[in-house]
Structure 1
Amino acid sequence: MGYTYRDSGVDIEAGSTAVELMKPAVKRTMRPEVLGGLGGFGGLFALDLKKFSNPVLVSGTDGVGTKLRLAFQMDKHDTIGQDAVAMCVNDILVQGAEPLFFLDYLAVGKLDPERVANIVTGVAKGCELAGCALVGGETAEMPGFYPEEEYDVAGFSVGAVNREDLIDGSKIQEEDVLIGLPSSGFHSNGYSLVRKIFAPYAMDTVFPELGEPLGEALLRPTRIYVKTVLQLLSKHQILGMAHITGGGLTENIPRVLPEGLGLRISISSWEVPALFTLIQRLGEIEAAEMRRTFNMGIGFVLIVHPDEVKAVQDELQSLGEMSYVIGEVTRGKGVEYV
């Protein structure tokens, strides 16, 4: 009897089993605009032209990076998918776009149906938190390319905003105010450095300042800010926004500023979470390096006119969201920390 595809390491039946296991989680992400179901050659989405009468489509793509190594180490795979979604939807949110749908790409060394379903369940959870539909994806079994116990996950999201509501930062002026929203930890950035510094410690180590196992703190998924921010945009004028990813506060906020403007950030205006102070201490990392590598406890930043600050913070509080006035826009260039 001749060789089969399974003999080469690719199990088509396992792929079909994985799809069946993930269907309930995917179904929970559906929106009325989705046409068809999971399993087609393409995901179908009919844009609501009553809601978006002058639409601009906004897209973003990203992965999770070396945070995946911790998921392998802990054999915990149900949250990493949320990271993949968050990195995309938070980015397109910055321009005022509502995320509409998401597609994931999962490449594995050996297809374990339950593990794949766990990963995609995390993707679906992220989509639920963002209010977008998981309209499709791809799971590729690649023996000999990835080790059997490893995988990579990435994806992309497409959103829409009416052209007149597009937020491009062009209205930002000197003395406008920065409002920071808390992160849930390192999110999905800086993990090459994180893994290097925490390499000597077991994932079940409980540092007194953390009060929980190290692995739980490090694998906590990236926050998704979509529903909170879309509520704000429906009631208040937000002049600019920044998703604090690689580059930290130092590099991400200036990306949305007009030419000739900089920032002054008050480092005492929020309490930096213990996870950040711990890694700084263990790695003897300089403050400037921390601020351009990690989010320092601020995952998303809103820029508003001074007259709007109280109303925006009151609205955030009513939504159950903490917020901090962390600085202001200045003349000049770059970021000054005071």
Structure 2
Amino acid sequence: MGLDYKKSGVDIDAGKKAVEMIKKDVESTFGPEVMTGLGGFGGLFKADLTNYKNPVLVSGTDGVGTKLKLAFKLDIHQTIGIDLVAMSVNDILAQGAKPLFFLDYLATGKLEPQKAAEIIKGIAAGCKEAGAALIGGETAEMAGFYQAGEYDLAGFAVGIVDQQEMITGAEIKAGDLIIGLKSNGLHSNGFSLARAALFEKANFDYRAEVEGLENNLGQELLKPTKIYVKTVLALLEKFKLKGIAHITGGGLIENLPRILPRGLKAEISKNSWQPQKIFSLIKKAGEITEKEMYRTFNMGIGMTLVIAKEDKDKVLAELEKMGEQACLIGEISKAAGEQPLQLK
């Protein structure tokens, strides 16, 4: 008998079924700016530029990393799409950009329509949380390329900001204060180290019940990355934010210095907040040094804001009113050749 595409490992009908299953979720992210539905060769988005004098498009792309291994192991796929959106929209938010639209790329060895629908349902939920339209994507079935039951995800976000309102960090000066916004846990970084510590070195079960955790271990690790878009955009309407750093891979040690002008450093007080239990569990399980923890994980702070000292009380009060967990975690000072971030 002759070969066809399905016999070689690619099921076109499964792809069509997956598209039908996700249609309502995807279209629920559409606003009046979206000019196409599913099925086009490109997503059309007519941005409203009425309130922009010098609009600048800001783009970002990212994946979810080895956090996907947890989703495979636990067979939980409903929230991993939120992580995908969060990693890109939080990045472009750091420059003051409002997300406009998002595209995703899902690649797998064998397409399972129900699983694909769960993943994209999470992507749509993340887009709605970020105020972005999910205007397109690609589902690639690559027979023999991935192990059974596994897949990979990538995402692409585009946002907009007025050039004169871009946040670059250039105005940061000594004496400014650093506000930390709490994370949901690990978010989507450091999972190679976390898995090695918890499951290879300490031999935890993926569904272990651990005192101090809200859920079993696997579910705790799969908590989706927090999306800060609504909070930060609301703050920008009332306050001057001099710098924003998304605390991703590299932790506070690597990410906060990225926004500091030359000659300045960030002094961080570790006692100003309490990291979630999951971080101390990983540290103990892997016998990991404190410095390695802070340069790998967010340690409970998912985003930092640099503000003028005189705005501290008002900004913290506004964050509390919005239901955001936030605290003063440090100060900007002059650097005399030292490292650009000091943990005290």
TM-score, structure 2 as length reference: 0.97
- 8 Å CA contact 2:180, 2:326 repeated in 1: yes
Aligned position for 1:206: 209
Instruction: Give how far 1:95 is off.
Output: 0.2
Number of residue equivalences: 338
Instruction: Give how far 1:52 is off.
Output: 2.5
- 8 Å CA contact 1:62, 1:88 repeated in 2: yes
**More off after superposition, 220-229 vs 206-215:** 206-215
Aligned position for 1:336: 342
Determine which of 268, 285, 309 is the counterpart of 1:265: 268
Instruction: Name the aligned partner's letter for residue 168 of structure 1.
Output: T
Instruction: Name the aligned partner's letter for residue 142 of structure 1.
Output: M
Determine which of 305, 309, 334 is the counterpart of 2:308: 305
Aligned position for 2:130: 130
Instruction: Name the aligned partner's letter for residue 120 of structure 2.
Output: V
Instruction: Give how far 1:272 is off.
Output: 1.4
CA deviation digits over 1:2-59, x for unaligned, max 9?
Answer: 2110000100000000001011111111122111111110000111110333100000
CA deviation digits over 1:93-135, x for unaligned, max 9?
Answer: 0000000000000001100000000101111111011000000
Aligned position for 1:323: 326
Instruction: Give how far 1:318 is off.
Output: 1.1
Do residues 245 (structure 1) and 248 (structure 2) align?
yes
TM-score, structure 1 as length reference: 0.99
Do residues 82 (structure 1) and 103 (structure 2) align?
no
**More off after superposition, 199-208 vs 6-15:** 199-208
- 8 Å CA contact 2:214, 2:220 repeated in 1: no
Instruction: Give how far 1:241 is off.
Output: 0.3
Do residues 105 (structure 1) and 105 (structure 2) align?
yes
Cα distance between partner residues in 2 of 1:209 and 1:88: 30
- 8 Å CA contact 1:244, 1:299 repeated in 2: yes
Residue ranges of structure 2 left out of the alignment (5+ in a row): none
Aligned to 1:124, the other structure's residue is in SS state helix
- 8 Å CA contact 1:102, 1:135 repeated in 2: yes
Aligned position for 2:190: 190
- 8 Å CA contact 1:205, 1:214 repeated in 2: yes
Cα distance between partner residues in 2 of 1:336 and 1:229: 25
Instruction: Give how far 1:317 is off.
Output: 1.0
Aligned position for 1:114: 114
Residue ranges of structure 1 left out of the alignment (5+ in a row): none
Aligned position for 1:281: 284
CA deviation digits over 1:51-79, x for unaligned, max 9?
Answer: 33310000000000000001000011111
Instruction: Give how far 1:278 is off.
Output: 1.1
Cα distance between partner residues in 2 of 1:33 and 1:212: 40
Aligned to 1:314, the other structure's residue is in SS state helix
Aligned position for 2:156: 156
- 8 Å CA contact 1:182, 1:323 repeated in 2: yes
Aligned to 2:267, the other structure's residue is in SS state strand
Aligned-residue identity in percent: 55
CA deviation digits over 1:136-194, x for unaligned, max 9?
Answer: 00000001111221100011100000111100000000010000000001000000011
Instruction: Give how far 1:211 is off.
Output: 4.1
Cα distance between partner residues in 1 of 2:214 and 2:101: 37
Aligned position for 2:23: 23
- 8 Å CA contact 2:213, 2:277 repeated in 1: yes
Cα distance between partner residues in 2 of 1:304 and 1:292: 23
Do residues 56 (structure 1) and 80 (structure 2) align?
no
Determine which of 277, 291, 294 is the counterpart of 2:297: 294
Cα distance between partner residues in 1 of 2:34 and 2:56: 19
Determine which of 224, 227, 234 is the counterpart of 2:227: 224
